[in-house]
Amino acid sequence: MPNLSIIILSYKSRAHLEVLLPSIWESEGVDFNALEVIVVDNDSKDDTLGWLQEYQKNYTDKNLKILPNVNNGFAKGNNLGIKQCSGRYILLLNPDTKLSADTLKIMLDFMDRRPDVGISGCKLVKADGKLDLACRRRFPNPRNSFARLFLRSNQNYNYSDVDENTEMEVDSVVGAFLLIRRSVMDKIGLLDEDYFMYGEDLDWCWKCKQAGYKVWYYPKTTTIHYKGESSKKARFKTLKAFHDAMWIFYKKHYSQQYPFFFSWLIWLAIYGRLTVLFLVRGLL
């Protein structure tokens, strides 16, 4: 059984895969006989899949699998890869990332030492060197979501009141780098496929904590995240999926706590904001 399975969901990501895959093979302190990498291509309709298949032929010494897929979203695409993997740990990794040489070893060693942690994530920095705020988050709720979306305040949502180099238990890490223990996944299930894109990582972390495990931000190693490259290729669908995810998450985890009229106001705020953004950005 592999110790680690890395699942990469690709959509028109050849240029980034040319950076990411070598960074995996250059990892230090990793037994490559106990590592499998599965790339799921979400119907890129460019040269990504063909390039991947040729790349695979040149790396027959690596446990690299290529799975062609239709573009049915982040959750379904990753679930396809997860169903094909067998690692003791599973790492969801965006194609627009680049690992540091020590990242895999440090994160696996941490998880081995902390059986109480079900999901962990490392420090993610953007191409400009600034912290990717999404790598440590509180769960969205009506209050912090309103502050973030309408008042442009991320402090309560992104732990920006805590030093970025402080390891800590958090509500959620981000699906761009999400390391989960297989035994935990077997208890909480696969990613929720009601989400097309965005929100499924928050939902998984919620279930992890509900099952009695911790979610941990561990900034002892860094991964570069060339943020949002796949989402730039489909702006209309991406923006709608972001707002749909907010509504799905609210319905699943908060709607029972509030009266109907309040939930109606939440729906109106989410989709009213979406309509305004469509009009302002000329996407309608």
pTM, 2 dp? 0.90
Statement: residue 6 has pLDDT above 90: yes
Q: Per CATH, is 4-135+168-226 categorized as 3.90.550.10?
A: yes
CA 116 from centroid of its chain's CA atoms: 21
Range name among 56-60, 127-131, 151-155, 188-192 with the lowest pLDDT average: 151-155
Statement: residue 228 has pLDDT above 90: no
- Residues 215 and 163 sit within 8 Å (Cβ to Cβ): no
Find the mean pLDDT for residues 40-49.
91
What is residue 232's predicted lDDT score, i.e. its pLDDT? 52
Statement: residue 41 has pLDDT above 60: yes
What is residue 154's predicted lDDT score, i.e. its pLDDT? 67
Range name among 144-148, 200-204, 240-244, 278-282 with the lowest pLDDT average: 144-148
- Model confidence over 132-182: pLDDT tens digits? 999 999 998 877 777 776 666 666 788 988 999 999 999 999 999 999 999
- Model confidence over 71-119: pLDDT tens digits? 889 999 999 999 999 999 999 999 999 999 999 999 999 999 999 999 9
Statement: residue 70 has pLDDT above 80: yes
Q: Which residue has the higher pLDDT, 234 or 3?
A: 3
Give the rounded percent of residues in the chain with a pLDDT score beyond 90.
68
- Model confidence over 56-69: pLDDT tens digits? 998 888 899 999 99
Give residues with Cβ within 8 angstroms of 119, minimum separation 6: 173, 178, 179, 180, 181, 184, 204, 205, 208, 213, 215, 216
Statement: residue 284 has pLDDT above 70: no
What is residue 266's predicted lDDT score, i.e. its pLDDT? 85
Find the mean pLDDT for residues 126-130.
94
The pair of structure tokens assigned to 114 is 């902390």
What is residue 152's predicted lDDT score, i.e. its pLDDT? 64
Mean pLDDT of the chain: 90
Q: Please tell me the distance from the alpha carbon of residue 261 to that of residue 265, in angstroms, as a whole number.
A: 6
